[in-house]
Amino acid sequence: MDEPTHVTAVGAAPPLEVGPARSRSRDRSRARGRSRSSGLGSARGESPARGESPARHRARGEFPRGGTRERIQAIALELFAEQGYEKTSLREIAERLGVTKAALYYHFKSKEDIVRSFVEDYRAELEQVIAWGASQPRTPGTRAEILRRYSGIVSEQLAVIRFMEQNQAAMHSLMSDSGARKKMFRDQFMSLSDLITPPGAALADRIRATMAVVSIGMASLLFQREAASPEELHDVVLKVACDLADAGTS
């Protein structure tokens, strides 16, 4: 586990780790002034002030519009893939980002919090697809659109899916705080399968619908390096899934 890090009060920008102690109070005062004018601008959807270098913004925990949380998640996933989840520390994530650990701590208190955040994001996106599908008529066109939306999420969240597949012990530990959370992906998987199953379908058709959902995640993981591009892989995977589910495009 990472050593404890102290942060400023809620709403204040995290302090910079600067040199001599005699200069820190002056720097904190300047940081408070900056937090009123720009603060963690990207956390509120604001762009960094013009004229300052990207490195100085990163040192304060600031990122381009809409990118703070996503950038932290992406860098964490990179490091988890490179050296393993257990061997990666919060400090290493901060160093790869080019920020102080205190600046990173302002957004996430631990690497476990980072994992929970991208898993929750993935779950929320699946819930949106399920909610949309449940509101639509059970037609081949609806089935095709559900599969298209689901395959788009898988393509965008492939690093998250790979992390969950390769770190099942860690995932079990992280999600053990809630029995409902431990089975949430199974429930969502079954909901997607049900939505693309024609009403009154025979067993064989129900199995095909389930395999359509399975094929999107598994094929995207297994054949990533064999496709010429992510776009080609997405298109081929989606076509196979639609064929399995007898999902038309009209």
* 77 contact partners, CB below 8 Å, separation of at least 6: 118, 159, 160, 163
Tallying the residues shown for the chain, one arrives at 250
Please answer whether residues 22 and 47 qualify as being in contact, where contact means their C-beta atoms are separated by less than 8 angstroms: no
CA distances from 214 to 91, 151, 221, 240, 245 (A): 37, 11, 11, 11, 11
Say what angle helices 203-222 and 184-195 make with each other, to 10 degrees.
120
Q: Could you tell me if 141 and 204 are in contact, meaning their C-beta atoms sit under 8 angstroms apart?
A: no
Q: What mean pLDDT is reported for the chain? A: 76
For Cα atoms 65, 69, 45, give the angle at the middle one, nearest 5 degrees.
25
pLDDT tens digits along 105-150 = 889 999 999 999 999 999 999 999 999 999 999 999 999 999 999 9
Helix (H) or strand (E) holding 141: helix 140-156
This prediction has a pTM of 0.69
Per residue in 63-90, pLDDT (tens digit) is 443 477 889 999 999 999 999 999 999 9
State the distance between the two ends of the chain, measured CA to CA, in whole angstroms.
53
